[in-house]
Amino acid sequence: MSFERKNIAKMQGYVPGEQPKDRTIVKLNTNENPYPASPAVADALANIDVEDLRRYPQAIAEDFRQIAADVHGVDAENIIPTNGGDELLRLALTTFVEARDKVIVTQPTYSLYPVLAEVQNCNLEEIPLRDDWTLPTDFRESLNRSRAKMCILVNPHAPTGCLLSSSYIEELAESFKGVLVIDEAYVDFVDPTESYNCVPLIDSHQNILILRTLSKGYSLAGLRFGYGISNKSLANPIMFKTRDSYNTDHVSQILACAALQAQDSAQVNWEKIRNSRSDLIVALNELGLVTGASQTNFVLAQVPTTHSAINISQALKDQNILVRHFQQPRLEDKLRISIGTEKENKALLRALRGVLHN
pLDDT of residue 349: 98
Mean pLDDT, residues 86-107 taken together = 98
Q: Which CATH class is domain 39-261?
A: alpha beta
Among 298, 217, 331, smallest CA distance to 27 is for 298
Neighbouring C-beta atoms of residue 142, cutoff 10 Å: 16
Mean pLDDT, residues 250-269 taken together = 98
Mean pLDDT, residues 218-225 taken together = 98
Maximum CA extent, the chain: 61
State yes or no: pLDDT of 29 exceeds 80.
Answer: yes
Q: What is the mean pLDDT of the chain?
A: 97
pLDDT of residue 1: 73
State yes or no: pLDDT of 2 exceeds 90.
Answer: no
Phi and psi based region of residue 84 (left: phi greater than 0; alpha: psi -120 to 50; beta: remaining): left
State yes or no: pLDDT of 358 exceeds 90.
Answer: no
Q: Which of 94-98, 118-122, 142-146, 181-185 has the lowest mean pLDDT?
A: 142-146
State yes or no: pLDDT of 299 exceeds 80.
Answer: yes
CATH number given to 13-37+264-356? 3.90.1150.10
> What percentage of the chain exceeds 90 in pLDDT?
97
Sequence spans of domains, the chain: 13-37+264-356, 39-261
State yes or no: pLDDT of 297 exceeds 80.
Answer: yes
CA dihedral for 129, 224, 178, 13, sign (positive or negative) = positive
pLDDT of residue 133: 97
